[in-house]
Amino acid sequence: MTFLTRTSLCLLFGALCVTSSAQAQPKQGFELNRYQPTAAGEWSFAVDHPWYSSTRYFAAGVTLNYAHAPLVAGSQEVNGVFKETQSLIDHHFIAHVDLAGSFLDRVLITASLPIVLASSGDPAFAAGSSIGDPRIGAKVRLYGQPYQSAFSASLGLDVWVPLRAITDDLDVTSSDQAVRLLPKLILGGVWKKLLWSGTLGFLARSEAVTVAPAGFASSLGRAASELQIGLAGAYYDEERRFAVGPEVMLTTAATGEDSFSRFGTSLEMLLAGHYNIKNMIQTGLAVGAGFVRQPGTPDFRALFRLAYAPMPDRKNDRDGDGILDAEDACPDVKGIRTGIAATHGCPPPQDRDRDAVPDEVDLCPDVHKGATPDPQRLGCPLAAPDLDRDADGILDKDDLCPDLHKGAVPDPARLGCPAPDTDMDGVQDPRDLCPIVPAGLYPDPQRLGCPLPDRDKDSVPDKLDACPDKPGAPHPDPKKNGCPGLLEVRGGQIVILKPVFFATDKDIILPESFPVLQAVANALKATPGIRMVRIEGHTDSQGVRIYNVDLSQRRSRSVMNWLIQNGIDAQRLSAEGFGPDRPIDTNKTVAGRAKNRRVEFHLADGANSAIQTQTPATQAPPSAAQ
């Protein structure tokens, strides 16, 4: 041992650092294992990707952790070459018992207890079985939803309870003697099929060393505060409930010359796979290796996780906001928890002027009520005696619409307000000869505010209709304009009599649907007055909601692109997908689901008709998968 006592010994690549015995010795013994499992039920092993109440409420399970050669001793010779001399721990097998629970859809509480089931090697370090330090943690969601948003941010804090501070009857490599703290920032999200996360943490830890290996004069296998960085990415298929991808953990000494050096840094990589059984049991398997090693980083690691992690039944939570439909006052619109039956699950009320008076009751929704609000007009400021903000000749104190000019046609019943336009066709009621019927795209020049006569009510006026007594649809050919075909006007809608077919589970339009879409294109070409058409995609409720929303979005865009390629100006079109959120029939029957799978064309410029593709109830198209 003469050579070894003259040279410094260190655990390079997981080797035990050895220095002179003349130095002051820190406390002896610390928890050697570096792997700390993420919350039970997560789709990751080491890099946090937390879940909250909208995903599930609780989870419990076990993580089995095998590490090969996590502690070896060796010498660093004068030329810097490391030479391993002996393995102090050959095999380390640990079971982590994990618990997690979430509330308020914002807070996640975790707990984990490591139990060393087996440890073999030098008896001074490998004591067979033992118990490790319990870890308690909390995470708070700041922004976004980790499993629903493309980006989310959370803050976390983990605390370890030092059992060796309570009892000395523990293995020197299984427990610390002082409390450890780990605050961290957690970012993550889901973008298309990519599940990603990143963490940045600071582990505050008292310095400690191991005992000296047999035959060595002194040793310093150190544990101290460190910076921790984690990155993870996975292919994530929510519908089929699996994820596969790598995780990388980098730790380095927080201060001193060992920071980001080979002797103060660990780099470990895992390749992990996860599968959820029937939205109830979370399983996972990972293998990995340590490339740069400190004490506790093995050259090979294997992990297996099994957790009871039930997910809410989305069939009873249509809007996916984590509030069951039975308790949700707005079951089809994502909202927030208020605890008040009338608003629980509803979005917060709009308040454009931010004066704490909701727009729906605010008589001045765009003007702050100010320091002295008007007691007679909710949400309005108290008007000065001689003020006329809208310059319509009516003083604010008497003006029932103080921020809106009374216009050329004042309302005789409301001083200072313009007359109403009930049918919203731009002609105010006192002048409108058809006050409850919009003038539409073809106003009658002889009757102000009225549409041209249209006997068959197909939106094509009689003077232009080639078939004025048979309902049809607009067509650029005057001989076909308003005549029956693939489109038929019914009650302000043009219903397509044949469905639009897509390739199963894809957004590819099948050629057999081209005539139907050409009929839609013809109708739009024949009515240039239609300035904006919103194409909406819808699915049934089968499968995973977030996937269905994405599929419906892609399909609506495919239809929009087809229309653009066939002569419709892109400025007239927009596309949006709603997945299963807006059913028009029950999802409990085959026929009902067939009706819910559809593409709709809505006129978004105020016209009083809509063009809708609708699957006949007796027919199930190839797109029936979604």
- Rounded CA Rg of the chain: 35
pLDDT in tens, 410-463: 988 888 899 888 888 888 888 889 988 888 778 888 899 898 888 887 778 888
pLDDT tier for residue 353 given thresholds of 50, 70 and 90:
confident
Given 265, 281, 311, the domain boundary residue is 311
Each residue of 233-243: pLDDT tens digit?
999 998 788 99
Quick one: what percent of the chain has pLDDT higher than 70? 84
CATH code at position 244? 2.40.160.40
Query: Does 415 reside within a domain?
Result: no
The angle that helices 514-526 and 545-565 make with each other, rounded to 10 degrees, is 60
- Domain boundary (292, 311, 330) is at 311
How far apart, in whole angstroms, are the C-alpha atoms of residue 626 and residue 34?
A: 45
Bridge partner residues of 197 (DSSP)? 188, 232
Helix (H, G, I), strand (E, B) or coil at 39: coil
In a domain, residue 373? The reply is no
Give the tens place of pLDDT for each residue, 281-337. 999 999 999 988 888 889 999 999 999 999 866 556 777 676 777 788 888 787 777
What single-letter amino acid sits at 471?
Answer: P
Residue 217 in any domain: the answer is yes
Q: Is residue 429 part of a domain?
A: no
Is the pLDDT reported for residue 581 higher than 50?
yes
Residue 178: name the closest of 159, 194, 193, 192 by CA: 159
Q: Using pLDDT thresholds of 50, 70 and 90, give the confidence band for residue 75.
A: low
Domain extent at residue 194: 2-311
Nearest to 176 by CA among 30, 52, 306, 19: 30
Strand partners, 188: 152, 197
Q: What is the mean pLDDT of residues 338-355?
A: 82
Q: Are 405 and 421 in contact (CB under 8 A)?
A: no
Predicted confidence (pLDDT) at residue 140 exceeds the cutoff of 50: yes
pTM score, two decimals?
Answer: 0.52
Mean pLDDT of all residues in the chain? 82
Residue 190 clears pLDDT 50, i.e. is over it = yes
Contacts of residue 507, defined as CB under 8 A and 6 or more positions apart, other chains included, come to 551, 554, 555, 557, 558
Residues 145, 127 contacting (CB under 8 angstroms): no
The tokens 């997981």 sit on which residue?
14
DSSP string across 360-393: TT-SSTTS---SSB-TTSTT-BPPPTT--TT-SS
- pLDDT at 203 > cutoff 90: yes
Say if strands 226-237 and 242-253 run parallel, antiparallel, or are unpaired. antiparallel
The mean per-residue pLDDT over the stretch 488-508 comes to 76
* pLDDT tens-place string over residues 294-309: 888 899 999 999 999 9
CA angle 531, 534, 535 (to 5 degrees): 135
In a domain, 405, yes or no: no
Question: Using CA atoms, how far apart are residues 434 and 338, in angstroms rounded to an integer?
Answer: 45
Give the total number of structural domains in the chain: 2
Q: Which of 257, 287, 311 is the last residue of a domain?
A: 311
Q: Is residue 324 in some structural domain? A: no
- Residue 192 maps to a domain: yes
Q: What is the CATH number of the domain that holds 568?
A: 3.30.1330.60
Domain membership flag for residue 327: no
